Homo-oligomer: A and B are copies of this chain.
């Protein structure tokens, strides 16, 4: 059992260090990844997951790639290995491509130094972006609390867009942690998030570790709580957001957005700008949705009556399962995007106004 590290991913003594999220909440274990193949496996098998954390891990993976590659062709091949591990989160490809651009600019001979500096920059910028998202989100929550004095704000979140999904602080959790630290009382409804239970296992664990009041609910429950006035605001992260504001996020996000709309509640998505895909307009048509193996639904892991980590099969042997990992919430259901530069509406014009330089880049791509 390791102590809880400050960051979820970092580079130390020649290897990428990660917190193995598959062991949580039962065990805090830091592991070292010494090769590109090990980094790719850790991303694919979800030892690390979450948009920002995947991006930063891939960034550090490129440090190993720079060390392993003897020429440009090998470096590019290793980049492909990292990029092909998971299809939906855009931060992954973004981080790898940023490394390639930086190394190309510096020249192959300087690859080790440049890759290291770029990886640290990616991680540091992720931390800074999440902190800024926290500040902007706190303003939003403060205004909402002022309209509901004398009681905690009830926030609902889906999956884990927390500290564990980034390098530090998280995206959807950033305003929550900021509010909690500022003494603004909050209570978080944590969607269990089947089939991998990232809410129950990761979000609940990290909120608990920081003392934030929270309650785990089945994914089925959020709409009912909204109907009963028990939710003030929904906030999630994102794996990819189009330049028009469509949001790919963990499967089930769309259902919560529909319920928020039906109950007149704000539905916010928090993201660093590295999560935008400037090349895509229509999320339903343009974002690839990962389909994972049916065993993630058929088997479930927990602690048995003796406290031993164990897994049980919860489907009849005669039944198959389908396991889509993400869905797309159309921009029309999103109240606003909380980015490091501020809060904007989920539409092309507002996003363009916040990131004017990016639209231009997309147009010339």
**Residues of A near any B CB (own CB < 8 A):** 25, 189-190, 192-195, 197, 200-201, 204-205, 207-208, 214-225, 227, 250-252, 254-256, 258-259, 262, 284, 289, 297-305, 310-316, 318-324, 326-328
- With a cutoff of 8 Å between Cβ atoms, the chain B residues found around residue A197 in the complex are 314
A160 to chain B, nearest CB (A): 13
- With a cutoff of 8 Å between Cβ atoms, the chain B residues found around residue A323 in the complex are 217-218, 221
- Is B304 in contact with A311, judged by CB distance below 8 angstroms? yes
- With a cutoff of 8 Å between Cβ atoms, the chain B residues found around residue A192 in the complex are 194-195, 297
- With a cutoff of 8 Å between Cβ atoms, the chain B residues found around residue A190 in the complex are 319
Report the copy number of this chain in the oligomer. Answer: 2
A146 to chain B, nearest CB (A): 27
The answer for the CA separation of A224 and B248 in the assembled complex, in Å, is 11
- With a cutoff of 8 Å between Cβ atoms, the chain B residues found around residue A225 in the complex are 324
- Is A318 in contact with B222, judged by CB distance below 8 angstroms? no
Given A201-B314, A218-B323, A289-B224, check contact A259 B254 (CB 8 Å).
yes
A312 to chain B, nearest CB (A): 3
- Is A220 in contact with B302, judged by CB distance below 8 angstroms? no
- With a cutoff of 8 Å between Cβ atoms, the chain B residues found around residue A216 in the complex are 297-298, 315, 319-322
Instruction: List 9 extra interface pairs beyond A223-B255, A224-B328, CB under 8 A.
Output: A192-B194, A194-B194, A200-B314, A214-B320, A220-B255, A255-B255, A255-B258, A301-B314, A303-B313
